Amino acid sequence: MAAYILRRLLLIIPTLLGILTINFFIIQAAPGGPVEQTLAQLEGLNVEATGRIGSAVQSDIIQNSNGDSSYRGAQGMDPALVAQIEKLYGFDKPVHERFLQMLQNYLVFDFGRSFYSDKPVTTLIMEKMPVSISLGLWTTLLTYLISVPLGIKKAVRDGTPFDVWSSSAIIVGYAIPNFLFAILLIVVFAGGTYFNWFPLRGLTSSNFEELSLLGKIGDYFWHIALPVLASVISSFATLTMLTKNSFLDEIGKQYVLTARAKGLNENQVLYGHVFRNAMLLIIAGMPAALIGIFFTGSMLIEVIFSLDGLGLLGYEAVINRDYPVIFGTLYIFTLIGLVLKLISDITYVIVDPRIDFESREG
């Protein structure tokens, strides 16, 4: 097992390199980069944009010339100003030099500074991480605590009225997008139309530091209740049906009939034999579920409930062409995903010791 883990850890390096390479050159080829956006703002004499360039070059905005430039928005602008903007964002170097410099910095987890907030990318990520971890951990925990027992019960009682009405409820929950359900929760419980029981903004109250320990815990769960509920509704349906189908498939196999013929009761058969085999498929999908819940699925929830997390950070970075944030978050998310996949394989062995990764090649 140790040799397999070592091979997988070494495989992370070329995988990260490939993903970063592909995304780097795709984004570089996309129009509307930070230089173009700044030039467009400067043409409109946007004060906020000129503030980032510095007062020393603001006077150059008025000095128009007809110098050639590769930027569409640079026509009629001073080439010296355009060159200074390129240098500001690091675009005064060839593409391959920027790429190699980025890889060199990423080896020591130096992701640079955001183009627009002028903060280190690591600082931004650490500021947003608690929100996404809170949403992701509680959503994942509740999803598995609800879905696995419910899926097992539906498999055992397949075709009964309980299975029918619970399937109907699951289908309805799956059909409603999480952002729509979030809006419904706000309308009903957060001061929309009916009740004003839950807060609408932030992860904690403004007086959080003044509260006692129990008060802080209660305040935290008070704020996180609706966002987590909205996320769970859209997540547990697929896992419940996957659990049910996985258990149904195992229950119909020969070894289950043999176990029953030996006189084992249903709980012994279900949790002593079926559970270990049926849960392999559930464990296999855990890394993808975690990544989806932590980073992609939480973006709309963060926007609706005014939670400043990683999902919102990544979305704003793409919109603003904030390349350091885009590549920094991509690097971290990919690394976390690869590590979670390795943890998933290790969990396979814990659940079913018959699996031997040592015998695999490559």
Domains, in order of start, for the chain: 31-92 (no CATH), 121-359 (1.10.3720.10)
**φ, ψ dihedrals at 352, nearest 5°:** -135, 95
Q: pLDDT category, 64, cuts 50, 70, 90?
A: very low
Reported as a single tens digit per residue, the pLDDT across 324-339 is: 888 888 888 888 878 8
As a whole number, mean pLDDT of residues 49-60 equals 39
Contact status, residue 321 vs residue 34, Cβ threshold 8 Å: yes
As a whole number, mean pLDDT of residues 16-36 equals 81
Query: Does residue 193 surpass a pLDDT of 80?
Result: no
Query: Among all chains, which residue has been given the structure tokens 């609800």?
Result: 146
**Residue among 321, 329, 324 nearest 35 (CA):** 321
Contact status, residue 140 vs residue 347, Cβ threshold 8 Å: no
**Residue among 281, 276, 273 nearest 238 (CA):** 281
Please tell me the predicted confidence (pLDDT) of residue 65. 39
Tokens encoding 110: 């130096």
Query: Does residue 355 surpass a pLDDT of 70?
Result: no
Contact status, residue 38 vs residue 85, Cβ threshold 8 Å: yes
Please tell me the predicted confidence (pLDDT) of residue 340. 78
Please tell me the predicted confidence (pLDDT) of residue 46. 45
Q: pLDDT category, 52, cuts 50, 70, 90?
A: very low
Residues with Cβ within 8 Å of 153's Cβ and at least 6 positions away in sequence, in order, are 162
Q: pLDDT category, 291, cuts 50, 70, 90?
A: low
Mean confidence (pLDDT) of the chain: 77
Query: Does residue 297 surpass a pLDDT of 60?
Result: no
Q: pLDDT category, 188, cuts 50, 70, 90?
A: confident
Query: Does residue 172 surpass a pLDDT of 60?
Result: yes
Q: pLDDT category, 285, cuts 50, 70, 90?
A: low
Please tell me the predicted confidence (pLDDT) of residue 360. 54
More confident residue, 357 or 142: 142
The region of weakest confidence among 155-169, 211-225, 228-242 is 228-242
Please tell me the predicted confidence (pLDDT) of residue 187. 87
How many whole angstroms separate alpha carbon 328 and alpha carbon 69? Answer: 29
Reported as a single tens digit per residue, the pLDDT across 101-117 is: 888 888 888 888 888 78
Query: Does residue 77 surpass a pLDDT of 80?
Result: no
Q: pLDDT category, 318, cuts 50, 70, 90?
A: confident
How many whole angstroms separate alpha carbon 218 and alpha carbon 221? Answer: 5
Name the strand (E) or helix (H) holding 234. Answer: helix 213-251
The region of weakest confidence among 28-32, 70-74, 98-102, 243-247 is 70-74
Reported as a single tens digit per residue, the pLDDT across 233-262 is: 877 887 888 888 888 888 878 888 888 888
Please tell me the predicted confidence (pLDDT) of residue 7. 82
Q: pLDDT category, 201, cuts 50, 70, 90?
A: confident
- The SS3 of residue 120 is strand
What is the torsional sign of CA 197, 200, 201, 202? positive
More confident residue, 29 or 146: 146
As a whole number, mean pLDDT of residues 178-182 equals 83
